[in-house]
Amino acid sequence: MTSDGGIKIPSRLPLLLSHEGVLLPGSTVRFSVDSPRNMQLVSQRLLRGTSLKSTIIGVIPNTRDPEHDTDDLPTLHKLECFERVGNDWRCRAKIPHTYPVLYRIGTAGIAVQVVGSNWPKPHYSLLITGLCRFRVSSLLKERPFVLAEVEQLDKLDQYTTPATEGAAAEDEELGELSKKFYQAAVQLLGMLDMSVPVVAKFRRLLDSLPRETLPDVVASMIRTSNKEKLQVLDAVSLEERFKKALPMLTKQIEGLKLLQKTRKMNPDNEKRVTNKSGVFPGRQFNLDGEDEEEDGDDAVALEKKVHGANMPDAALRVCLKELKRLKKMPQSMPEYALTRNYLDLMVELPWSKSTKDCLDIRAARTLLDNDHYAMDKLKRRVLEYLAVRQLKTSLKGPILCFVGPPGVGKTSVGRSIARTLGREFHRIALGGVCDQSDIRGHRRTYVGSMPGRIINGLKTVGVNNPVFLLDEVDKLGKSLQGDPAAALLEVLDPEQNHSFTDHYLNVAFDLSQVLFIATANTTATIPPALLDRMEVLQVPGYTQEERVEIAHRHLIPNQLEQHGLTPQQLHIPQETTQDIISRYTREAGVRSLERKIGAICRAVAVKVAEGHRVTKTEDLIPESPTQQGGKTLSSLSLCVTVLILPPAIYTSTYNGRVIREFLQMTRLIAVLKVCSVAGEKEGRQGSSQGSADSAYQTVRHSSVISQTS
């Protein structure tokens, strides 16, 4: 490869017929190889070769449409002969020849990388660096790949020769062209951002390479068509090469100047160089030299949101750093979506948004009394917090823990506290949670990472001082993924939660203004360190009198509304409620009581739907009731049915619960049926007293039968 005249390429080269692009000396291009000839060239020459000489191939531009390619040797872009004039090659007229020799111009290159793949079809990807021009003297063979006798046209050592040595040999016209080309290249660089890697590479090449190599290098780096690159490739003479490449460079400069002028006239319109008119392939530049993403408007809007989020300085610095990385990142990269999601979360978090507390103690007491009966200890603690907030506005949010049996209203009283304070409410169910990442979040290095429940809750409510209800904190689990109870130590510690750090955010967030309320059924399963950080308030079970009041204030109206009944259709007096509580439900809370009232409502709804489809209240009560002893005795209606329910049997020894439920439903259906029959008799005879006595006797009889059974 060496001789007295300098470095030489092999005289015989395998030819790679490419239709994807044009390889110029000094440039590096990636080619996709899938045609039979080119596949054979890679497999038999490049992959089996063991020397540097075997990696040098010739690249010939193929102008044929690849969709209609055949096995015939294609007609290429140049069919002219050249003659040597001194140390240069110049084109001369076409001449006839008897031996079938094809005269073509190509680029000798070295394959620096070969990558194979079978999807979607077998192909190779070659990364080739151009060395010099050559012309084809003769074809030696066409199969399995094209092998040709070539003659080198350029000096291969010109890329290693300092720029000062070649300057003395330049004539006056060539020197002027070289100077103008260099000045135009420097002017183009002045309009671009040097922080972009491709621009910085362009600058380094401009300062280090000899000027006779600049036309090829610049033409390969700026965005030009393949036709224009073919013109530079065909320009074997250095002077002709400068003349072909200089207009391309000038066109890029004029295009940038025009866009710059347009942007000055319309400063609000974010103009940028698009892919079709961009300077470098695969890159985009705005007129200030800062590269933007394809959707530049979204990047600008995101930057405005970052500055308008009023986040702390530490979080702002992290966001600006990630935003700068996002702008330089192509959207095809997997990390682009992760970074964008992270920035969206950062700008949506309520760093400085809060709600104003309602500090009216009288209104708060009235609201709490209307929502909940009894629970004096919990109400007093909330009123104390409001009173202290009136005296000291910078009070940290308390961390309360309601401990009591199920069904006493621990969760509902937390929602009422949020309404009393005028704050947002968010419930976090911790029952069965066994991964500490549910509290602290996942690190962004993991696939599918996401923030913890605390940060997600703050994003949902949109304020930094909500009421967080940590439900069932005594039922936290523990696994190989960590202990969530230990992760809650930082959240529920007033001395630490002002700088709570989620693994996903990786910046501190202030939780000191959040009012945390935890609920539990027992303190036995809560770790002592976690229990020590909370103010425990015991919530005892309700007495019978309290359950009666709760039933008539809240449960019965709610069940009537849920079942589509009116108070005129169903009325349950306090004596009946006491019997249901003392004989049908024995619990600390009121959940079973609510279910029993719901069962009564459903049975009454069935009777109303079957035989009492009425729209007026008067249809349920006769128009001419009889008077007896100064009291009005109306006919048996559905509300009277509830009054005569016999007590349940709790002393059954065989399958007690099943028998009890069966007897309850049997007696209720029997009473409703008797009531309906009695009502019909009353309508026919007009005697309400007789119907009432008959219904009562029948019910008593059914009660005796059920008890003896």
pLDDT of residue 556: 95
Residue 598 tokens read as 């719901």
Every domain of the chain and the residues it spans = 2-159, 163-277, 294-348, 361-538, 553-708
Number of H helices, E strands in the chain: 24, 21
What pTM does this model have?
Answer: 0.52
Residue 136 has pLDDT above 80, yes or no: yes
Read off the pLDDT of residues 384-438 as tens digits, 9 standing for 90 and up.
998 998 888 878 888 999 999 999 999 999 999 999 999 999 999 999 999 999 9
Please report, rounded to a whole number, the percentage of residues in the chain having pLDDT higher than 90: 40
pLDDT of residue 418: 93
CA terminus-to-terminus distance, the chain: 114
DSSP 340: H
348 vs 315: CA distance, rounded Å: 13
Q: In which element (H, E) is residue 134 found?
A: strand 123-141
pLDDT of residue 267: 55
Radius of gyration of the chain from its Cα atoms, rounded to whole angstroms: 45
The number of CA neighbours under 13 Å toward the Cβ of 707 is 12
Tell me the C-alpha to C-alpha distance, in Å, between residue 104 and each of 60, 125, 455, 559.
Answer: 8, 24, 67, 93
Q: What mean pLDDT is reported for the chain?
A: 77
**Does residue 224 contact residue 248 with C-beta atoms inside 8 Å?**
yes
Domain 361-538, what fold? Rossmann fold (3.40.50)
pLDDT of residue 666: 43
pLDDT of residue 643: 41
Residue 630 tokens read as 């100064």
Q: What angle do CA 89, 92, 98 make, to 5 degrees?
A: 110
Residue 22 has pLDDT above 70, yes or no: yes
Please give the class, per CATH, of domain 553-708. Answer: mainly alpha
Q: 470 - beta bridge partners?
A: 428, 518
507: pLDDT confidence band, cut at 50, 70 and 90? very high
* Better-scored residue on pLDDT, 239 or 100: 239
Domain 2-159, what fold? 2.30.130
Residue 289 has pLDDT above 80, yes or no: no
Evaluate whether 2-159 and 553-708 have a shared fold. no
Which of 179-183, 205-209, 561-565 is the least confident region? 205-209
Residue 185: CB atoms within 10 A of its CB come to 24
Read off the pLDDT of residues 298-325 as tens digits, 9 standing for 90 and up.
788 888 999 999 999 999 999 999 999 9
Residue 4 has pLDDT above 90, yes or no: no
Residue 420: CB atoms within 10 A of its CB come to 26
pLDDT of residue 429: 94
**Sequence-distant (≥ 6) Cβ neighbours of residue 586 within 8 angstroms:** none
158: pLDDT confidence band, cut at 50, 70 and 90? low
